[in-house]
Amino acid sequence: MQIDQNSRNNLLQLSLRKVQFQILKYTVLGSLPNHFKNLLEQAIVYSSKTKELNFLHSRVNGLVLPSYVTEEQVRICSTFKTRPGDVFLITYPKAGTLWLSEIVYRITKPKKPSVNLLGGAVPYFETASHEELEALPSPRYIFTHLPLSLILRSNEHDLKYIYLARNPRDVAVSFFHFMSSVRVCDFEGTWDEFLDYFMNGEVPYGSYFDHVLEWWEHKDDENVLFLKYEVLKKELKGQVKIIAEFLGIQLSDEEANTIAEQCTFQAMKANPGIRADALSKMYKKGSHLRKGMVGDWQNYFSDEQLAEFQKLYQYRMQQSGLEFEFH
């Protein structure tokens, strides 16, 4: 049977991606958890872009997800067995996930996990296996980007949820840089192209507005703490104490001040032991900690883009009562 030229080219490209990944696997990605390396192989070698979306991705029940979050991984998350005291740290992508994880890590000083997980003592839910999560000591602190509909809301156990929200303009800019830099997205498009995807909710983890507003509706629930990135920037010490109190931990002013100093963007970026190192290995360029500022959107949005974005923002946020600072 003869193979046409397109098929021959596809096979050649597949072989090339396999070789490239094997080099990555045993060099740059060497220290990452094996389970995650297997997911990355699936994402980088076997995923493909589409005519509609010019980046590597998966889709589960219509929701766009990162290429390494497969249907099987979503099933693992949906059948996860909770324990009393489990705490989920939840953000939309690029809304301060690592920052929140580091603050909670410093407050709680959890035991070192017995397994090698992406994220360390505060592992990344979507990339873990049942066995890895089960091996974690209680209380477990787990971060995730999954929307509310895919996160366990068990009445059986006393679970807690901390949600960190960031203004959507800065999220869009940070997300653009992330997708342009990481191998698992391989996005080579322009800012204009990405902003269209973002405004249409056709980016990994879906619509920003759906994600944030679903959790905002639960802001008054006893077991939910809803935080804002911009407030965290301005009032870090006070916010550290609020997070600790929510977790049932009393901190002195001195302890809260020490944690706040350890968790400034500058301190985290200067700390070689920070868990961003593992995440940065997924990057073709740059690192996981980029700027961490409020107002960077002003360097990217044109006047026309800002006007269109503001229309969408007002339409989605009207009557919600949720407001953000943009600079």
Q: Is 90 exposed, middle or buried (0-12, 13-18, 19+ CB in 10 A)?
A: buried
Whose tokens are 């992330």? That residue is 178
Which residues are CB-contacts of 165 (< 8 A; sequence separation ≥ 6)? 91, 92, 95, 212, 215, 216, 226, 227, 228, 229, 322, 324
Reduced to 3 states (helix: H, G, I; strand: E, B; else coil), residue 227 is: strand
Instruction: Give the separation between CA 151 and CA 159, rounded to whole angstroms.
Output: 11
φ, ψ at 191 (rounded to 5°): -60, -40
Which residues are CB-contacts of 19 (< 8 A; sequence separation ≥ 6)? none
Active site residue 288: no
Q: Which two tokens stand for residue 183?
A: 């191998």
Please name which of 166, 203, 172 lies closest in space to residue 300, comparing C-alpha atoms: 172
Instruction: Give the separation between CA 327 and CA 122, rounded to whole angstroms.
Output: 30
The letter for the amino acid at 108 is T
Which residues are CB-contacts of 42 (< 8 A; sequence separation ≥ 6)? 67, 68, 70
Q: Which two tokens stand for residue 215?
A: 């959790």
Reduced to 3 states (helix: H, G, I; strand: E, B; else coil), residue 152 is: coil
Please name which of 186, 182, 190 lies closest in space to residue 300, comparing C-alpha atoms: 190
Q: Prior bond to 147 cis, omega within 30?
A: no
Residue of 35, 57, 130, 145 marked catalytic: 145
Query: Hey, which residues are catalytic here?
Result: 145
